[in-house]
Amino acid sequence: MVFEDESSEDTSSLSHIHSSSSTDGLNQVPYSLEDPEYKGLELDLMVFCEKHGKASERLVAFEGTDTGRRFLACAELQFRSELVAGMKEEIAKKDADHQKLQEKYDLLVNLTRAQATVIQNLKLKHRKEKEVLTEARIKMEFQNAELKKSEEKLTHEKLGLKL
């Protein structure tokens, strides 16, 4: 469970996450808090924000897999919320693009299925027509054979009559 530092002055403009671990419903927990015990080489170096030109703050993350990770961030709280808002806009745009691509993909899948059905139906129709033509050819060959037999019979009868 993450606890908020009660000694901090004004955290109303900080971005918050909601925790449902308490019995009274949702608690607001900041995404990050200032860490006065941040040690390391960064204490000797002053890192300035590129946008505002102010010294960066040393913070500790409270979110996701980066929980407990220490980092430097812009001292301007508004800048952080602008970043979050910008990222949310980008995510919304990407979700919209993803939805459009998914719709196009679904349309393509449906068209492919319809095309496959048409091809199957044409093949089936062609096969049936081929069977009908084959049966007709067999009947014609049979009738032709019978006509040749009749012709030979008539030729023999004709020869018999001439004799």
- If asked whether residues 95 and 161 sit together in one domain, one would say yes
Same domain, 70 and 96: no
Residue 18: C-alpha distances to residues 15, 38, 64, 81 (Å): 10, 25, 12, 16
Q: Which of 106, 112, 42 is nearest to 72 (CA)?
A: 42
Residue 87 reports pLDDT greater than 80:
yes
Same domain for 41 and 96, yes or no, is no
Q: Domain of 40?
A: 16-75
Alpha helices in 54-76 (DSSP H): none
Coil/strand/helix, residue 30 = strand
Reported as a pLDDT band with limits 50, 70 and 90, residue 31 is: low
Measured between alpha carbons, how far is 50 from 53 in angstroms, rounded to an integer?
A: 6
User: What domain count does the chain have?
Assistant: 2
pLDDT-based confidence at residue 30 (cuts at 50, 70, 90): low
Give the model confidence (pLDDT) of 35-57 as tens digits: 666 555 445 567 777 777 777 77
Distance between CA atoms of 131 and 119, rounded to whole angstroms? Answer: 18
